[in-house]
Amino acid sequence: MLGIFRRSLPPAVVLSLAPVILAAQGWQHVGVVQKVDKLPDGVELTCGKTKVRVTVFREGIFRVRVAPNGAFPKDFSWAVVETPEPPAIRVDDTKDEVRLTAGSVVARIRKSPLLIDFLRGTGDMLVADAPDKPMGWNGGQLRVWKRMPEEEGYYGLGDKAGPMNRRNRAFTLWNTDAFAWQESTDPLYKSIPFFIGLRKGLAYGIFFDNTWRGSFDFGKEDHDSYSFGAEGGEINYYFFAGPTPKKIVEDFTALVGRTKLPPLWTLGFQQSRYSYEPEARVYEIAKTFRDKKIPVDAIYLDIDYQDKNTPFTVDRQKFPTFEKMVTDLTAQGIHTVLITDLHIKKDPDHGYAPYDTGAKDDVFVKRADGTTYVGPVWPGDSVFPDFTLTRARDWWGGLYKNFSDLGVSGFWNDMNEPAIFLTITKTMPPDVRHRLDDGTALPHLAIHNVFGMQNVRATSDGLLKLRPNERPFVLTRAAYAGTQRYAATWTGDNVSTWNHLGMSTPMLLSMGISGYGMVGDDIGGFAGSPEPNLLTRWIEVGAFNPIYRDHTAKGTLDQEPWVHGAKHEAIRKRYIEERYRLLPYIYTSVEEMARTGIPLMRPLLLEYPQSPEFFDDDREYLFGPALFVSPVTAELQDTKVVQLPPGTWYNYWTGEKTSDRELIKMNPALDEVPVYARAGSIVPRQQVVQSTRETPTGPLELRVYPGGEDCKGSLYQDDGHSFNYEKGEFLRVNYSCQVATAGIKIVSAVEKDGYKPWWNAAEIIVYGLDKAPQSVRVGDAMIRDWHYDPVQHAAVFTINDAKNNWIAELIF
């Protein structure tokens, strides 16, 4: 009976029946603690035959593992890359509870029954197990229930659609090819079992490191508790004590790995479609960008460049001089990105090396009966590399040699949920086994959610072997926690509707706090064709997203920036140009993301966790540390109200200063996106270039927005493509400014000068000045060549030798 339910009802329905069927189905909950053993990093609790370990992984990070039968399996994770470094701990064992203290955080383990609460030393409760539902399991299934206080919000879970706050909804984690997904579609492409709980400024994080089909229920089943669990594997979760959401994101990304510094060109504008063909069309697209002087850095070739959709081949009818085309694009500063899907056409003895060598090396996924699994995808009957095997990943990585030798810059791994045609489950059957290096194998259910991750791991590692001193660029559709180590990603097959434009921002923001900062959407929408205003608005917003790629489906109308006439083209070009002007700032912020895990696109809850009134609008965010963006995503924009976050802000376009927490009412024109710069920030910019390969002319521009408590900015530059920065070949300059009655002082302090930038001079623009200064001084010298712009309320001057340390002063 229950088996029938399970098969025929969608997961959310099954979940809502849970309370009724839980007991009947034989859920068992962890019982009374009978024995407490101290471990070097925590405690092991024995309850009947069950053992529970609560340990401290690092300062502020606890870990909980449960072995229902008392035997902990080998400790292994696809996600975790950090090694534990347990701080000093204290264990207080009393009759009713055990307290495990590390620094300012306490795990209080109540004994009868075993319930775990995490508190701050100050007594503030962060999160407590639901009193009536200790952790439980049922056959292979397992689940953890936590108390759900009123007003607590839940943020994260990767690419889930809908509001960023996941409260009142339930989600399944099962990587799924979800063409034309909608707000209520679930599951989607990625499984990132991590979230932040946030209540009145108190924040904590939980990462449930389990790759099986999982589910998170934030108040759908029950109003007083939320829960997370999976259909197999282990109860194994990490608790992050913060204290701030930022610290939680930093700690989580340290645990599972951060985005690597990407090649600079991947931050430029990228043009794609399904598919540019034949070759002449690719040339035409490239030429149109250059003729119209619309900057672009990459053109993508989707599956039709291949011979009958067969990965690692080229259709010579359509692309007779493929090699020359790649070279010619490169010569124009345009990178070629090729799709290379993971399904290998089952095509024995026709000279198709990927199949023949893979079969010979025995790297394809098998079924339980030992036969190779064959499934239909784009090339027809296909086989699939066993990416969980190191030797299969190595073999896959080697397949990139030819394309890499030709100078193809980036690779796109689509369909890696994995997506399979002509089956109801859209993926591999459960009897597929995935082999592991130690000679064992796991069922598909255990590996499904990491299959795409291991696919892009293989691609990225392969490219690193082929071009050891080039940063690889890989784009993936499926992901598990930590996949940002190997690839950038996008939100899959969206639709050309205003609704989708609106859904995009919260999804990208959720990805960012889930550790995945190099993310974008299909600008203009994949399915369907955007009306002119929609494409224009989308290109405007995209300028302030991490990945900026226009893409559309087969059979749709052309979707390049110029397709709707001169008026739209001019607006779109202006925003794409703005993207390039901002590259010094964007690259600096992306370097920060690679170093700290703080995403480029930051939801307001990261910056203002104390003020829910500022983050209840999911569509507004900070782009890097300094810019506040309020996208226009409505077709008929009546009056738009922008609630600025605390502090003073400057209109990014006009330089106009706002007052604290100003509510701005506006009717944004089609070419207007509200963007504000934080008072107390310094934003580096450059001149427009047609691609990142072109050296900008003129000085570096430094926009100084005085005010705030800690006025600062920085600049990071390096060669943009190699790993030489790891050897110190980079430039880092820290800028600061101080406002006093007598004047404004701006300081440049070079932290590291291991790289010679393209500029010598810097043009400094100081905003927010009601009147012109009396004089401008750099060091001891008075500058004569400066001017005051009364419209922008800004003083403008140039420092010729700006690469060294300097102090500039505006004297009033």
CB of 554 to ligand MIG, least distance (A): 7
Nearer to ligand MIG, 427 or 692 (CB): 427
Nearer to ligand MIG, 391 or 554 (CB): 554
336: CB partners within 8 A, 6+ apart = 298, 299, 300, 301, 325, 326, 329, 330, 407, 408, 409, 410
Q: Indicate the burial class of 378 (C-beta count within 10 angstroms; 0-12, 13-18, 19 or more).
A: buried
Q: In terms of Cα–Cα distance, which of 570, 489, 500 is closest to 528?
A: 500
Nearer to ligand MIG, 217 or 302 (CB): 302
Q: Per the residue annotation, which of 417, 461, 550, 701 is the catalytic one?
A: 417
Ramachandran category for residue 415: left, alpha or beta (phi over 0 → left; psi -120 to 50 → alpha): left
Nearest in space to 266 (alpha carbons), one of 518, 468, 31: 518
CB 137 within 8 A of CB 27: yes
3-class state of residue 359 by DSSP: helix
Known catalytic residue: 394? no
Query: If you write DSSP's letter for every residue of 242-309 in order, what string do you get?
Result: -SSHHHHHHHHHHHH--PPPPPGGGGSEEE--TT--SHHHHHHHHHHHHHTT----EEEE-GGGSGGG
Q: Which residues of 339-375 are buried (b: 16+ CB within 10 A; e: fewer)?
A: bbbbbbbbbeeeebebbeebbeeebbbbbeeeeebeb
Instruction: Output the residue with the shortest Cβ distance to ligand MIG.
Output: 274
Q: In the structure encoding, which two tokens stand for residue 811, read together? A: 């004297």
Q: Which CB atom, from 477 or from 693, has the smaller least distance to ligand MIG? A: 477
Residue type, 311: P
Q: Which is nearer to ligand MIG, 274 or 538 (CB)?
A: 274
Residues that bind ligand MIG (CB under 6 A): 274, 302-303, 339, 414-415, 477, 492-493, 526, 551
Is the Cβ of residue 152 or residue 521 nearer to ligand MIG in the bound state?
521
Separation of alpha carbons 760 and 16, rounded Å: 64
Q: Between 47 and 415, name the residue whose CB sits nearer to ligand MIG.
A: 415
**Inter-residue contact 170 to 581 (CB < 8 Å):** no
For 309, phi and psi rounded to 5 degrees? 60, 25
Rank residues 419 and 627 by Cβ distance to ligand MIG and give the closer one. Answer: 419
Among this protein's residues, is 417 annotated catalytic?
Answer: yes
Write out the two tokens for 215. 């589910």
Measured from the CB of residue 520, what is the shortest distance to ligand MIG in angstroms? 12
Residue with tokens 């580096």: 684
Q: Find the shortest distance in angstroms from Cβ 180 to ligand MIG.
A: 10
Give the pair of three-digit tokens for residue 319.
């692309």
Q: Which CB atom, from 341 or from 577, has the smaller least distance to ligand MIG?
A: 341
At its nearest, how many Å lie between ligand MIG and the CB of residue 526? 6
Sign of CA dihedral 656, 662, 667, 673: positive
Min dist CB 105 to ligand MIG, Å, is 42
Least separation in angstroms between CB 106 and ligand MIG: 46
Token duo for residue 138:
């049922």
Residue 580 contacts residue 595 (beta carbons within 8 Å): no
Smallest gap from residue 518 Cβ to ligand MIG (A): 16
Instruction: Considering the candidates 41, 347, 414, 618, report the single residue annotated as catalytic.
Output: 414
- At its nearest, how many Å lie between ligand MIG and the CB of residue 380? 14
3-state secondary structure 606-650: HHCCCCHHHHCCCCCEEECCCEEECCCCCCCCCCEEEECCCCCEE
Strands 335-339 and 298-301, sheet pairing = parallel
Catalytic choice (41, 315, 493, 577): 493
Given the complex with ligand MIG, which of 494 and 589 has the nearer CB atom? 494
Q: How far is the CB of 175 from ligand MIG (least distance, A)?
A: 13
Question: Cα separation of 625 and 599, whole Å?
Answer: 10
Q: How does DSSP assign 480-546, residue by residue?
A: ETTGGGT-EEE--S-BSSHHHHHHHHHHHHHHHHTT--SEE-EET-SBS---HHHHHHHHHHHTTSS
Is residue 625 within 8 A of residue 645, CB to CB? The reply is no
Looking at beta carbons only, is 198 or 453 nearer to ligand MIG? 453
Query: Is 414 assigned a catalytic role?
Result: yes
Which pair of tokens denotes residue 630?
A: 């309020």
Which residues lie below 8 Å from residue 531, measured CB to CB, with a gap of 6+? none
Q: Which two tokens mark 24? A: 């009947």
Q: Which amino acid is at 302?
A: D
Residue 449 Cβ vs ligand MIG, minimum distance, rounded to whole Å: 18
Compute the distance between CA of residue 616 and CA of residue 401 in angstroms, rounded to an integer: 48
For residue 273, the minimal CB distance to ligand MIG (Å) is 8
Nearest to ligand MIG of 50, 559 (CB atom):
559
Handedness of CA 721, 722, 723, 728 (dihedral sign): negative
Write down the least CB distance from residue 411 to ligand MIG, Å.
13
Which DSSP state fits 725?
Answer: G
Beta carbon nearer to ligand MIG, 492 or 512: 492
| Longest CA–CA separation in the chain, Å | 87
- The Cα–Cα gap between 494 and 525 comes to 5
Name the minimum Å distance from CB 477 to ligand MIG: 6
Amino acid at 140: G
What are the catalytic residues?
414, 417, 493
